Chain A
């Protein structure tokens, strides 16, 4: 297992050196970015089991902050990253306290409502560019603008952020916080009877999740250099985060990364195959994945993998035991 981990880490670190061209570099950076967003969603939706369909709010805030800082004050966009985190966490408290009274589907529906409301406000607010959105620096003034032609620097920045996020998640999942989250997901009433302060721990999950989703949004707009209400706050952004996490395995550490490694290349492929006209196809694929996951593999691909592995191990045990028995 340890050796496997080393190999995977090395593969991620060295991947850019074996690239045929920038197309694959950009796709790899997009995979990592999607994995950051989905891993952030996973803290609240996977571990704590609160299915938010409104995470685009935090993604959008994170995406707007750097470009707003740049267009309004001429500061390097990266200054907007902490601003995005601060605004996002402030918004979580406003959203979290009323919506956490709701459970299950009602919570999910409330998050959709809030996200759509905010998207409409942004679309009509001239200060933040209304429906046209915002642009980043066309040419980097200094390296601080983090505006690169090659996707490789982005790849390494995203890889570092993802590594930090996964390390933090891994640590939390082993601590009291992680156990309490899973208990809340399994049943709030018994969790409370065992002394779990349910609302407080759900809020912790939301704060962390929102903060990192905001970072994902910031990284997105840093790389793309452009943001509009639809790509920042659109409901499809929220859905994308959920599908990536659920495909790999919600509530598992590496599930979102696995999901991103499958879904993002798939998206890029369909988009390039059918040109601009194929962008609708992505959402047909989303729909198909939702149906298949809900029907056959609600635990996601990693869960399926673990079950197959344990079945194989079991069969091996049985096979090993047989000669002794006979």
Chain B
């Protein structure tokens, strides 16, 4: 088991944003996390990434307890993450952004540069490598976000709505990129609103609602699950959907 999150909870003051979510990820999987706004998927995501410390439960990565580890320790162990709103280093060039990631495994400048260039080529940013990162628009920044974290050579990649805000054709490009990353042997956990993305990419889906996981299974199973429809569309729709089901 690559990642084992057991009974993870997190409260903000009196608000229990996440109460006892569990997730097992085996190496080579693509797992999707979905749920309506405020369902706790981002909280769970940030707990796994090390940005938030869970108030309960524990998280193991490769049998190492990372429940309370810092974000930088997560990166070192091989858990990489992107941010929902791209956190681009706008004052640096695109190559320099990626080099910051590459320095984690390559302390020497020339090695880091070579590794960064490889990733830039892989993610299709080569034409603009030396441009300042501020010149990139949202799709470019999302791509750079992925390139930067790939440069840290993660074993597990956590994508936080990496495809949100893209046009349909850009989404297709991004899906292809995620596929190529997966083909390199990197395990992926993806939070996404766009159902199309989850349906095409994820092998397994975990559905959140009001801080708990309400369903898990293949994308097809989950979409047909009454509790899931209820969570997304309300009870009446769920009844209707149930009546139409074969």
Question: Interface residues, chain A, CB within 8 Å of chain B?
Answer: 174-176, 179-180, 182-183, 185-187, 189-198
Are B51 and A195 in contact, with the CB atoms below 8 A?
Answer: no
Task: Tell me the smallest distance from the CB of A322 to a CB of chain B, in Å.
Answer: 24
Given A194-B100, A195-B104, A198-B72: A176 in contact with B91 (beta carbons within 8 A): no
Given A193-B149, A194-B100, A194-B104: A182 in contact with B87 (beta carbons within 8 A): no
Q: Which residue of A lies closest to B49 (CB)?
A: A193
Are A179 and B81 in contact, with the CB atoms below 8 A?
Answer: no
Q: How far is the CA of A180 from the CA of B90 in the complex (A)?
A: 14
Q: Which residue of B lies closest to A182 (CB)?
A: B92
B112 sits at the interface (CB 8 A): yes
B13 sits at the interface (CB 8 A): no
Partner of B51, one of A175, A176, A189: A189
Are A175 and B149 in contact, with the CB atoms below 8 A?
Answer: no
Would you list 9 pairs from A and B whose C-beta atoms are within 8 A, ordered by A residue?
A: A176-B112, A179-B96, A189-B87, A192-B71, A193-B49, A193-B74, A193-B75, A193-B149, A195-B101
Task: Tell me the smallest distance from the CB of A220 to a CB of chain B, in Å.
Answer: 32
In the bound complex, residues from chain B placing their C-beta under 8 Å from that of A183 are: 89, 92, 100
Partner of A193, one of B83, B112, B151: B83
Partner of A195, one of B75, B88, B89: B75
Task: Tell me the smallest distance from the CB of A184 to a CB of chain B, in Å.
Answer: 10
Are B101 and A175 in contact, with the CB atoms below 8 A?
Answer: no
Q: How far is the CA of A140 from the CA of B51 in the complex (A)?
A: 60
Dominant secondary structure of chain A at its interface with chain B: helix
Range for the number of chain B residues in contact with chain A: 20 to 34
Other contacts beyond A190-B88, A195-B72: 18, CB < 8 A: A174-B109, A175-B109, A179-B100, A182-B89, A182-B96, A183-B100, A185-B91, A186-B91, A192-B70, A192-B71, A192-B72, A193-B83, A194-B100, A194-B101, A195-B75, A195-B76, A197-B72, A198-B72
Task: Tell me the smallest distance from the CB of A310 to a CB of chain B, in Å.
Answer: 11
In the bound complex, residues from chain A placing their C-beta under 8 Å from that of B152 are: 194-195
In the bound complex, residues from chain B placing their C-beta under 8 Å from that of A179 are: 96, 99-100, 103, 112
Are A187 and B109 in contact, with the CB atoms below 8 A?
Answer: no
What is the 8 Å Cβ interface bit string for chain B, positions 63-96, against chain A (1 contact, 0 not)? 0000000111011100011010001111110001
Task: Tell me the smallest distance from the CB of B110 to a CB of chain A, in Å.
Answer: 10
Q: How far is the CA of A196 from the CA of B89 in the complex (A)?
A: 13
Q: Which residue of B lies closest to A185 (CB)?
A: B91
